[in-house]
Amino acid sequence: MALPPSPTPPAVRRSGHTDTYHGQVVGDPYRWLEDADSPETQAFVEAQNAHTRRVLDALPQREQMLERLAELWDFPRRSAVWQEGEVFFQLRNSGLQDQFVLYVMASPTDEGRVLLDPNALSDDGTVSLSGLAVSRDASRVAYAVSRGGSDWQEWRVRDVASGLDLPDVLPDSKFSGASWLPDGRGFYYARYDRPDDGQRLSGANLNQRLWLHRLGTGQDADELVLERPDQPEWGFGAAVTDDGQWLVVNVWKGTARQNLIWVRPLGEGGAFQEVVAEFGASFQFVGNDGPRLYFLTDQDAPLGRLISHHLETGERQDIVPEGQHRLLGATLVAGGFVLHTLEDASSRLTLVDRHGQHARLVALPGLGTVDALNGHPDRHEVFLTFTSYLSPAAGYRLDAVDGTLTPLWTPELAVNLGDYEVRQEFAASADGTRVPLFIVARRDLPLDGSHPTLLYGYGGFDVSLTPAFDVSRLAWLEAGGVLAVANLRGGGEYGERWHQAGTRANKQNVFDDFAACARFLVTRGYTSPPHLGIEGGSNGGLLVGATLTQHPELIGAAVAHVGVMDMLRFQHFTIGWAWVSDYGSSDDAQDFDVLRAYSPLHNLSPQAYPPTLLTTGDHDDRVVPAHSYKFAAEMQRAQAGEAPVLLRVQTLAGHGAGKPTRLILQEKADVYAFLLAALG
């Protein structure tokens, strides 16, 4: 079945609003849609949702897809185990629960008991856990809850023995974890000033402060640890070292892979020692042996290296020099480190001693992704999960002495995954760059160009798309579809040079890489342009928007989730200013020329576009929904063909984190039914 011709979309008012950038006048006729709470914007959302539902609800595949997705989704899932003191913790979902549940156990394989069930915190499943920190003696858990998908958090404290909450409630936190004092009587966390009414989606998040909260006191009694009113874009993350000697503060500024490190003895006031005093590279704190601190850094090493810094002498040493592959992480364990590297976007684990010597490779179950790596400096056990495109995340225990990997639990699916296979291919981009892509399809797939194929990408912010299981994709594969995931420049698969090659003035490389992958799928016979769909979210939504405006002839359908579509104004909302490190800013004349050249909103023109589905959440306070609202209105106006341009706005949902299962299933059913109908 093909998509029927689109009904006439709702009429949308265009204003005469213009802005002047560096002498150039640019129209912004839908500026009024930036006011998310205005009656006119709410009426726009209602009309667009009604229009979208008329199209999607008429697709017979939609209900069938929803039913099949619910069947596939209904299997038990677990996070990696982690340990504090002599107690073990794990997040679990029985299958169709809206939110994962926190369990406490006496051993890594114990059935345990429920400690915290966020499903009980709301009737509709829209309250989620957004942060967890267990005290050193495992007697208490600081946990953060978010509502309706918002990035805003409220910290609370639960007693592990009784399962009851303490009176402590700490709102107004955002982009913050928690780190406990060694005695468990308090923890560090960060928060912003509460936004004024009506500024939830329009005000910028600036002037984060670091606080110490002591249990049993009100938030107004919290001790201010750090603030920098002269640097409103700086944020602060605190870590108390495992030996309880030091407070290590990570000072960040936006999403740039550059940060400062400040350290002082725990419990002392006064000035911090500036271990890293200038923004110029990434320094990730790994752990310490007394005054010797270990960091993973890309300073003078785009693929990463592991170093030590002595707080008393200032001496720095290479522990693990830069190698041939991206050093993604390092975990400090008794006697050494577990190193996590990426080789062509899949995980490798290596054990080394404290001097970076005597390397031993850990035998992993296959090509895939290691997640978590939960360990302690005084223990040999490390807990992790391993997943791939055709393997649900399974739990393992790693013995860091002999490298033995022992399964703890393996999810069971009522599906024969052996019918499918994963291939890694490489496309050549416009400038000849080798671009990897993973392709998942039936083993017996004839390469005759006839298959509906979904190409997914991201390409930004040092994010690596490594092989991971998504049960919803099985529904796509079962329906005869092919899945392709592209590892584009701008990501982190090959280190900082790969990342920088897809940022600012180089951003066009990302779109060229994606187009090259689309052409590769066609020339190799997997699909043809009428059968090729593209999908991405957030920065990946920008990728889809740019591909729509630059290469509509390459694709048969497009799905963009919570996309950054207005590249001239993104920096004015909530945390958008933090993306300038990747995108640049329209406030700069040179950046403006680059942004204006690819901004999806500003490059739509009257022509026949392929069927397009745009999704967003009315509570998205990261990529505010105005991006999708404005792009949908302008694309509907520019559409010269019969294909629908649909806007799906989910109420009580944000950027994606914490979205309840029932809403995920409904959205996935809409997306796959839309793509199957559009691509044939």
Query: What amino acid positions are annotated as catalytic residues?
Result: 538, 655
Taking the C-alpha atoms of residue 568 and residue 601, their distance in angstroms, rounded to an integer, is 9
Taking the C-alpha atoms of residue 563 and residue 576, their distance in angstroms, rounded to an integer, is 12
Token pair, residue 178, equals 């928690």
What DSSP string describes 48-62? Answer: HHHHHHHHHTT-HHH
Enumerate residues 6+ apart whose C-beta is below 8 A from 123.
none
Taking the C-alpha atoms of residue 51 and residue 40, their distance in angstroms, rounded to an integer, is 16
Q: How far is CA 518 from CA 129, 279, 445, 536, 597, in A?
A: 37, 37, 18, 14, 21
Taking the C-alpha atoms of residue 114 and residue 99, their distance in angstroms, rounded to an integer, is 13
3-state secondary structure of 350: strand
**What letters, b where the CB count within 10 A reaches 16 and e where it falls short, cover 621-643?**
bbbbbbbbbbbbbbbbbebeeeb
3-state secondary structure of 87: strand
Nearest to 425 by CA among 443, 442, 438: 438
Token pair, residue 473, equals 């994709």
The interaxial angle of helices 39-56 and 626-638, nearest 10 deg, is: 60
Taking the C-alpha atoms of residue 658 and residue 656, their distance in angstroms, rounded to an integer, is 6
Consecutive H or E run containing 626: helix 626-638
CB 663 within 8 A of CB 650: yes
Pairing of strands 18-21, 24-27: antiparallel
Token pair, residue 533, equals 């769909």
Burial of residue 456, with CB atoms counted within 10 A of its CB: 0-12 exposed, 13-18 middle, 19 or more buried: buried
Amino acid at 101: V
Amino acid at 431: D
User: For residue 360, how many other CB atoms are within 10 A of its CB?
Assistant: 14
Q: How far is CA 259 from CA 123, 282, 510, in A?
A: 41, 6, 25
Amino acid at 506: N
Taking the C-alpha atoms of residue 244 and residue 252, their distance in angstroms, rounded to an integer, is 23
Q: How far is CA 18 from CA 26, 31, 38, 661, in A?
A: 5, 9, 20, 41
Token pair, residue 37, equals 């709470």
Q: What is the CA radius of gyration of the chain?
A: 25
Taking the C-alpha atoms of residue 240 and residue 263, their distance in angstroms, rounded to an integer, is 10
Taking the C-alpha atoms of residue 468 and residue 388, their distance in angstroms, rounded to an integer, is 4
Taking the C-alpha atoms of residue 663 and residue 653, their distance in angstroms, rounded to an integer, is 9
Consecutive H or E run containing 189: strand 186-191
